[in-house]
């Protein structure tokens, strides 16, 4: 299979979102131009992205909203539900946990961990915050697919090493550090400082 660029995947996620909106609004078919307009891309870009995976449209009319929804969900692996563990029960962890939209999209938070004994034992919407020492075992037992890392920067690499050893294959990291992971582990970073600095650069360059 061809190599798919990260930006193409991002755009697919966006298309999915627009399709959901269109579907909710009762739209039956949508053209690449319309999808593009909502997402700031060009219609050629939309068609190219989709053509990486097949031909889902009908000439003259466009794409069936429901069908394309289904296709993109399949492409992105969103037909199933993924088991997610949240490591770090601080403010950020709490904010992420309570953002229950993830659930609706198939990302089910099955376990929460924290190293701070003060936090351990707290009940979070049906889940109990567990001690750090339990993490390795629980990650394995529950066969967690995705670990969300929301711990302080200096703890992040240690957590990630353990998470990887416990067989977790993908990680979403919020700590402002560059993590080392083996090749087969998928890592994405959300780095707010980086984004702010990007804005600073833009403001400065005027």
Partner DNA sequence: CGTATCTTGTGAATGATTTCACAAGCTCGG
Partner DNA sequence: CCGAGCTTGTGAAATCATTCACAAGATACG
Point out which residues bind a second copy (CB under 8 A): 1, 4, 6, 9-10, 12-14, 16-17, 38-40, 75-78, 82, 84, 90-92, 94-96, 98-99, 101-102, 105-107, 145-146, 169-172, 176-178, 186, 188, 190, 192-206
With CB cut-offs between 5 and 8 Å by kind, which of a second copy, DNA, none does residue 199 bind? a second copy
DSSP code at position 64: E
Q: In angstroms, what is the minimal distance from the CB of 102 to DNA?
A: 26
Nearer to DNA, 59 or 80 (CB): 59
Chain centroid to CA 129: how far? 22
Contact residues: DNA, CB under 7 A: 3, 5-8, 31-33, 41-45, 47-48, 50-51, 55-63
Cα-only R_g, the chain: 20
Nearer to a second copy, 61 or 79 (CB): 79
Pair of tokens at residue 170: 């993908």
Q: In angstroms, what is the minimal distance from the CB of 72 to a second copy?
A: 10
With CB cut-offs between 5 and 8 Å by kind, which of DNA, a second copy, none does residue 183 bind? none
With CB cut-offs between 5 and 8 Å by kind, which of a second copy, DNA, none does residue 62 bind? DNA
Q: Which helix (H) or strand (E) holds 83?
A: strand 82-87
SS3 assignment for 24-56: HCCCCEECHHHHHHHHCCCHHHHHHHHHCCCCC
| Distance (Å, whole) CA 76 – CA 71 | 9
The sign of the torsion formed by the CA atoms of 111, 112, 117, 119 equals: negative
């Amino acid at each position: 299979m061809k190599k798919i660029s990260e930006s193409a995947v991002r755009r697919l996620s966006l298309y999915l979102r627009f399709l959901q909106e269109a579907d909710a609004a009762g739209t039956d078919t949508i053209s690449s131009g319309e999808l593009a307009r909502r997402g700031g891309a060009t219609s050629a870009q939309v068609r190219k992205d989709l053509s990486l995976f097949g031909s889902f449209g009908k000439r003259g009319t466009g794409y069936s909203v429901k069908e394309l929804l289904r296709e993109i969900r399949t492409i992105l692996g969103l037909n199933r539900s993924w088991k997610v563990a949240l490591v770090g029960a601080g403010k950020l962890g709490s904010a992420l946990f309570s953002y229950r939209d993830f659930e609706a999209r198939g990302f089910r938070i099955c376990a929460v961990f924290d190293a701070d004994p003060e936090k351990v034992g707290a009940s979070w919407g049906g889940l109990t915050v567990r001690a750090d020492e339990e993490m390795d075992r629980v990650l394995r037992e529950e066969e967690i697919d995705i670990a969300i890392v929301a711990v302080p920067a200096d703890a992040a690499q240690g957590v990630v090493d353990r998470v990887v050893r416990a067989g977790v294959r993908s990680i979403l990291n919020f700590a402002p550090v560059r993590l080392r992971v083996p090749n087969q582990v998928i890592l994405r970073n959300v780095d707010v400082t980086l984004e702010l600095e990007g804005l600073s650069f833009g403001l400065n360059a005027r």
